[in-house]
């Protein structure tokens, strides 16, 4: 190969010649000596140098700039080609072919499209439904808070704490787990108990206003009750009831009404009886319309202050005759008894009022005459069904127009919780 470069093409090169090998070995040895001598010089220079002597200051001679000869590039040896140098890290990068550039750009565009599709799918399929569910849970709880903490409790400290807890919820489960009914019930019980103590009248009563729904229409009802009964309701009810209930001082009126025995709870009511008043909605004037009956009373807890029967109920004419006769051959025996009674209760009342008779005797005879008469009729299953009653009822002032206008269509009922003694005895006897 070397002979070809030198121009000797007649003979093929021979690598086994000793002369050529000697030349190569000499060159290698010279290079090694150069490297070793250079290393020795560097090690000698690195040793400690003696301190230079101080020189006297003299004027520097003007030195003429020397012209440096440009270095010639090393001539390449025949047969050896240097390897290509790698570009420095901060230098110019090798040019990428256009096909590779197009491939990279397409891959980048495709990757961006995939990222956009994945992000959009995550937003519409995961994030947005999650946010909607969370917001729906928060709206549900906020509506519950507004339903319970209203009116006098609109600025209650418990409301602000619950709103902050709802707003800090990260998941729908956390928001729905926030307890609203418990704190609201506690606050309402405290408030309503204070209202009972401040709104009771001199008869130790309060008037409770509550809302009911009749035919999808909310209606306000009133009930007069004792303080102990109102406090029992407050202690047992929760915020769903207490938030829709108001306590007021009773403002009542005694109203006389004339009703039949059927309307007067069968005539089995007396003074101090607590009755509920319903309206017979089937009767509208002279026409009968088949409408549904009301399920809640128009007036609750009305008190019977007085009850009067018609005059015919006081006319008494009684006669009892007993006879007994025994006959034997030599003996005979007989017995007979006859009693008669003719009494006009109204005349006795007039005589007592005029002072013609002893008032104490008349009071003892006629005390609770109407109630006892109704009890006897109830025991005998026989009574005067056509009797008419004049009843004086204590009702709230707002209910007086309704009671007067619907006198012929109202029905008085007796709640079993406020039942008279005879009803309590019968219920115990029936149910043990």
Q: What is the SS3 string spanning the chain?
A: CHHHHHCCCCCCCCCCCHHHHHHHHHHHHHHHHHHHHHHHHHHHHHCCCCCCCCCCCCCCCCCCCCCCCCCCCCCCCCCCCCCCCCCCCCCCCCCCCHHHHHHHHHHHHHHHHHHHHHHHHHHHHHHHHHHHHHHHHHHHHHHHHHHHCCHHHCCCHHHHHHHHHHHCCCCHHHHHCCCCHHHHHHHHHHHHHHHHHHHCCCCCEEEEEEEEEECCEEEEEEEEEEHHHHHHHHHHCCHHHHCCEEEECCCEEEEEEEEECCCEHHHCCCCCCEEEEEECCCEECCEECCCCCCCCCCEEEEEEEEEEECHHHHEEEEEEEEEEEEECCCCEEEEEEEEEEEEEHHHHHHHHHHCCCCHHHHHHHHCCHHHHHHHHHHHHCCCCCCCEEEEEEEEEHHHHHHHHHCHHHEEEECCHHHCCHHHHHHHHHHHC
Please indicate whether residue 408 or residue 285 has the higher confidence score (pLDDT).
408
Q: Which of 254, 243, 247, 255 is nearest to 207 (CA)?
A: 247
Cβ-contact 239, 186 below 8 angstroms: no
Cβ-contact 293, 279 below 8 angstroms: no
Residue 254 has pLDDT above 90, yes or no: yes
**Residue 173 CB neighbours (<10 A):** 11
What is the rounded average pLDDT of the residues 100-126?
87
Supply the pLDDT for residue 288.
44
Supply the pLDDT for residue 187.
94
Residue 421 has pLDDT above 90, yes or no: no
Supply the pLDDT for residue 184.
93
What is the rounded average pLDDT of the residues 274-292?
66
Please indicate whether residue 425 or residue 310 has the higher confidence score (pLDDT).
425
Q: Residue 112 has which token pair?
A: 């961006």
Integer Cα distance of 44 and 46 in angstroms: 5
Residue 59 has pLDDT above 70, yes or no: no
What is the rounded average pLDDT of the residues 199-218?
83
Residue 271 has pLDDT above 90, yes or no: no
Please indicate whether residue 10 or residue 105 has the higher confidence score (pLDDT).
105
Most confident of the following: 139-148, 325-334, 343-352? 139-148
What is the rounded average pLDDT of the residues 330-338?
58
What is the rounded average pLDDT of the residues 355-368?
68
What is the rounded average pLDDT of the residues 149-159?
91
Residue 249 has pLDDT above 90, yes or no: yes
* Mean of the per-residue pLDDT values of the chain: 76
Cβ-contact 389, 271 below 8 angstroms: no
Supply the pLDDT for residue 298.
85
Integer Cα distance of 368 and 201 in angstroms: 29
Q: Burial, 332: exposed, middle or buried (Cβ in 10 Å; 0-12, 13-18, 19+)?
A: exposed
Q: What percent of the chain has pLDDT over 90?
A: 27
Q: Where are the domains of the chain?
A: 2-37, 179-248, 252-310+387-431
What is the rounded average pLDDT of the residues 236-243?
92
Residue 2 has pLDDT above 50, yes or no: no
Quickly state the pLDDT bin for 424 (edges 50, 70, 90): confident
């Amino acid at each position: 190969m070397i002979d070809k470069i030198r121009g000797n093409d007649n003979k093929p090169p021979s690598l086994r010649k000793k002369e050529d090998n000697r030349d190569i070995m000499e060159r290698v040895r010279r290079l090694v000596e150069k490297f070793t001598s250079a290393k020795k010089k560097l090690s000698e220079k690195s040793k400690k140098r003696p301190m230079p002597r101080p020189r006297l200051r003299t004027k520097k001679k003007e030195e003429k700039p020397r012209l440096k000869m440009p270095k010639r590039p090393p001539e390449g040896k025949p047969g050896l080609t240097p390897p290509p140098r790698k570009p420095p890290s901060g230098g110019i990068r090798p040019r990428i072919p256009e096909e590779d550039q197009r491939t990279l750009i397409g891959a980048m565009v495709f990757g961006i499209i995939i990222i956009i599709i994945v992000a959009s799918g995550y937003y519409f399929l995961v994030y947005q439904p999650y946010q909607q569910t969370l917001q729906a849970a928060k709206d549900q709880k906020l509506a519950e808070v507004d339903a319970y903490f209203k009116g006098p409790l609109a600025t209650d400290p418990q409301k602000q704490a619950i709103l902050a807890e709802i707003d800090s919820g990260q998941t729908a489960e956390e928001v729905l787990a926030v307890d609203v009914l418990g704190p609201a019930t506690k606050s309402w019980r405290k408030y309503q108990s204070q209202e009972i103590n401040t709104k009771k009248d001199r008869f130790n009563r309060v008037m409770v206003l509550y809302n009911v729904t009749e035919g999808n229409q909310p209606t306000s009802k009133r009930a007069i009750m004792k303080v102990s009964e109102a406090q029992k309701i407050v202690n047992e009810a929760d915020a769903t009831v207490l938030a829709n209930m108001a306590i007021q001082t009773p403002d009542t009126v005694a109203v006389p009404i004339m009703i039949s025995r059927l309307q007067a709870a069968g005539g089995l009511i007396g003074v101090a009886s607590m009755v509920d008043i319903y309206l017979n909605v089937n009767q509208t004037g002279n026409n009968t319309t088949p409408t549904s009956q009301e399920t809640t009373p128009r007036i609750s807890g009305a008190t019977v202050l007085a009850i009067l029967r018609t005059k015919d109920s006081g006319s008494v004419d009684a006669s009892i005759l007993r006879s007994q006769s025994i006959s034997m051959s030599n003996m005979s025996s007989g017995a007979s008894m006859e009693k008669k009674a003719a009494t006009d209760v109204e005349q006795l009342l007039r005589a007592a009022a005029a002072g013609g008779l002893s008032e104490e005797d008349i009071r003892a005879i006629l005390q609770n005459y109407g109630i006892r008469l109704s009890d006897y009729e109830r025991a005998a299953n026989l009574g005067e069904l056509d009797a008419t009653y004049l009843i004086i009822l204590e009702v709230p002032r707002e209910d007086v127009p309704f009671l007067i206008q619907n006198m012929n269509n109202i029905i008085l009922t007796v709640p079993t919780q406020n039942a008279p003694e005879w009803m309590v005895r019968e219920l115990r006897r029936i149910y043990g």
